[in-house]
Amino acid sequence: MRRALCFGLALSLVSISCGSGGSPAADDDDTPDSGPGDGDGDGGDAGGGPCAPGTRGCAGIDRQWECQVVAGAPTRVETACGAYAYCTADRCEPGCLDECALGETRTNGGATQVCGLYAESSGGFVTPGDGMHDLARRHLAWIRAHHLANGYIANTLFTSQAYTAHAAYTGTVDAAEWTGVYLAAEALRARTTRSPDAIRGVEATIERIYQLFDITGQPGYMARIWAPLGGDPLLAALYDPADTSHFTTTFGGGPAFFHAWTSRDMYAGVALGLALAYDATTSEGHRAMVRTIAVDLARELVRDRVDVPVRLRYHLLGSWQTMDTTYDLRHVVLVPDEMVDGRIYIQVGSTDDPSDYGASELRGAREFVPDMRTVLGQTPGLGPLVPAIPRPGSALMLASFMELALHVTEGVPGFDADRAAIRAHYDAERSAWLAVMKQYAYHNEENCWTQYFGLTIAHHPLYALLHLTDDAAFAQELRSGVLAARMRPFVVDHHNPYFDYAAAGEGPAGLVPAAELAATTSQLAGFVAPPKAARPVDNRGAYPANASCPGQSTMAVSIADRVPQDFLWQHHPFRLTNEFVHREHVYPGTDYLIGYWLGRYHELVADDRPGTCTRWRT
């Protein structure tokens, strides 16, 4: 009986920590209007300290500098780029880079301007096409217009199939994860194209993610979403006073709430976005926000915490039992607001069904423990019975958090002590974490692909790790021992662009065969245009049925035929019918954006709309 309780407690902790139209058509001969400040640039600003006369560079996408002799001293002089000129190397040069999102409007000089697609070849505006690049532009525009709930990615319920008026936002429990993935997509776009619009998108999303940490008031503690309680009634409606995971506060100058009890997948998505975003902007203010998030989180996770009060509630011998004890903990973020009587609270099972481990609760901490035995082994009377409980996802996340903190503090004054502490901890633990990572397994392939999202959650930190690490030997171990040996076999021929492009871009050469990549890219081109509504889908008869898994096919359904989902790449590709039809319910195209820009960044997808860019026109 004690052994059964122990295993139940272990299973419960594993479960609860995982959590579970474009713009109007344009006339082809229209010419672009100048935007505010367009022209020959400003007269220049002198400053920046000593430099070598004649040297030059970029102070941002829209500013250049040149070292000139001013008052007898070499001085860095900055000037703004002129109209539709950009500094992408060491000086401003004319170019065609996206300035805005299709269909967006603004007022300039008393006139209303609309963002349209401009073609260099004709010198005028053209109608967006059906290709992959313009599809990405259309999904981006739709997201910005309809799927940002206080700046965070959400599903949207419309009042009608005209898709103009919003009735409610849904799916905000996962807003942090998908906002992180949206940031990753914008960062990949910025790094691939140097688009000013992409860079602004990166910086705006960094600000929103920073607020998820700032609003909680606890270092390393992130909310799922926050919103003001005054103003927009759709945002205020997200708050449920009966929901104990909702907390009210004052933030941004007024009353607000945040949704807490944040699961590890939220952190994984956010860390992925930050890992790519830091180098996508030159704004020191925004880099400082990323640095604060990363260092605060790493500081909390490397701390050794002694005698942390814990309350266990479990069902044994026909009744509920409570045990107050203490654990020595590391790799956790404590959340006092969620504690019960000042203790981390763990309930095994639900009150209605003690054996329902998936309904277990853990309050008062965010944990990223790579082997749960280090915690449960301290339980009085049960500790000796606890086996090793390796958690590869936690090991991947921990390593990605450490790499991020080290990356964003490299060469930055004032962080020597933090870097030393983080580096010492990482160096001491990384080998053990790698051994845990190499035990990754997806356990539901034979259970009709349930919890497929676990594969997506693992890909977030693995891609971030491979992108960030400068240790070639470690990267090779990740590529061969984790990605190729332990993760890739589960998703071969699933035609999941997120998995395929990540594996082809960062994995061992040839891991994804050329034919499989070509098929995935061809299918991605058939991704539904916005709005991505919960429309009827019935693929029965078009794909072979799986007798062992009702409602599923034995082969991956083509992307164009798949059931619409919130983030398509976290759902298995075998579903034949849509059991949730609600045409007014629309999902964001974040999945298309991360797939497309990941492919573009790694040069696996060609630009099918070269020489075009978005610009403002009257």
Give the integer Cα–Cα distance in Å for 384 and 3: 10
For residue 328, is it left (φ>0), alpha (ψ between -120 and 50) or beta?
Answer: beta
Summarised one tens digit per residue, pLDDT across range 61-95 is 999 999 999 999 999 999 999 999 999 989 999 99
Of how many residues is the chain composed? 618
The pLDDT value recorded for residue 386 is 81
pLDDT band per the 50, 70, 90 thresholds, residue 445: confident
Phi, psi (deg, nearest 5) at residue 76 = -80, 120
Burial class (CB in 10 A: 0-12, 13-18, 19+), 19: middle
E-only strand ranges, 275-430: 305-316, 319-329, 332-334, 344-347, 361-363, 365-367
User: CB of 81 within 8 A of CB of 64?
Assistant: yes
Give the integer Cα–Cα distance in Å for 217 and 341: 20
Give the integer Cα–Cα distance in Å for 69 and 260: 55
pLDDT band per the 50, 70, 90 thresholds, residue 443: confident
pTM score, whole prediction: 0.91
Count CA atoms closer than 13 A to 241's CA, side-chain side: 1
> What is the 3-class SS of 251-293, one letter each residue?
ECCEEEEEECCCCHHHHHHHHHHHHHHHHHCCCHHHHHHHHHH
Give the strand pairing for 45-47 and 148-149: unpaired
Summarised one tens digit per residue, pLDDT across range 341-390 is 999 998 888 888 888 766 677 889 999 999 988 988 898 887 888 889 89
Is the pLDDT score of 275 beyond 90?
A: yes
Is the pLDDT score of 29 beyond 50?
A: no
Supply angle C-alpha 92, 96, 100, rounded to 5. 105
Give the integer Cα–Cα distance in Å for 332 and 301: 5
- The per-residue pLDDT of the chain, averaged, comes to 92
Supply angle C-alpha 571, 143, 113, rounded to 5. 160
Q: Which of 17-31, 333-347, 358-372, 428-442 has the lowest mean pLDDT?
A: 17-31
Summarised one tens digit per residue, pLDDT across range 458-502 is 999 999 999 999 999 999 999 999 999 999 999 999 999 999 999
Q: Across the strands, what pairs with 344?
A: 310
Phi, psi (deg, nearest 5) at residue 423 = -65, -40
pLDDT band per the 50, 70, 90 thresholds, residue 314: confident
The pLDDT value recorded for residue 44 is 52
Q: Which of 50-59, 304-313, 576-585 has the lowest mean pLDDT?
A: 50-59
| DSSP code at position 241 | T
Q: Which helix (H) or strand (E) covers residue 456, if one does?
A: helix 453-468
Give the integer Cα–Cα distance in Å for 262 and 8: 22
Instruction: Copy the structure tokens of residue 61.
Output: 């996408």
Summarised one tens digit per residue, pLDDT across range 133-179 is 999 999 999 999 999 999 999 999 999 999 999 999 999 999 999 99
Q: Is 155 helix (H, G, I), strand (E, B) or coil?
A: strand
CA R_g for the chain: 26
pLDDT band per the 50, 70, 90 thresholds, residue 561: very high
The pLDDT value recorded for residue 349 is 82
Tell how far CA 272 is from the center of its chain.
5
User: CB of 67 within 8 A of CB of 57?
Assistant: no
| Strand order through the sheet with 166-170 | 166-170, 155-158, 582-587, 532-534
Give the strand pairing for 152-153 and 148-149: antiparallel
| Strand order through the sheet with 319-329 | 319-329, 305-316, 344-347, 361-363
pLDDT band per the 50, 70, 90 thresholds, residue 49: low
Q: Is 77 helix (H, G, I), strand (E, B) or coil?
A: strand
Give the integer Cα–Cα distance in Å for 449 and 438: 21
The pLDDT value recorded for residue 99 is 97
For the chain, the maximum distance between any two Cα atoms, rounded to a whole number of angstroms, is 88
Helices 175-193 and 196-214, packing angle to 10 deg? 150
Phi, psi (deg, nearest 5) at residue 368 = -130, 50
User: CB of 196 within 8 A of CB of 613?
Assistant: no
The pLDDT value recorded for residue 462 is 99
Give the strand pairing for 344-347 and 305-316: parallel
Q: Domains of the chain: which residue ranges? A: 2-20+303-389, 45-94, 166-300+391-481
Give the integer Cα–Cα distance in Å for 113 and 616: 6
Is the pLDDT score of 607 beyond 90?
A: yes
| Percentage of the chain exceeding pLDDT 90 | 83
Q: Which of 59-73, 418-432, 538-552 has the lowest mean pLDDT?
A: 59-73
Instruction: Kindly tell me the number of DSSP H helices and DSSP E strands found in the chain.
Output: 16, 25
Is the pLDDT score of 566 beyond 50?
A: yes
Q: Is 592 helix (H, G, I), strand (E, B) or coil?
A: helix
Phi, psi (deg, nearest 5) at residue 360 = -65, 160
The pLDDT value recorded for residue 46 is 55
Summarised one tens digit per residue, pLDDT across range 88-102 is 989 999 999 999 999
Mean predicted confidence (pLDDT) in 280-293: 98
The pLDDT value recorded for residue 355 is 80
Is the pLDDT score of 506 beyond 90?
A: yes
Instruction: Copy the structure tokens of residue 271.
Output: 């860390």
The pLDDT value recorded for residue 379 is 86
Q: Which helix (H) or strand (E) covers residue 433, if one does?
A: helix 416-437
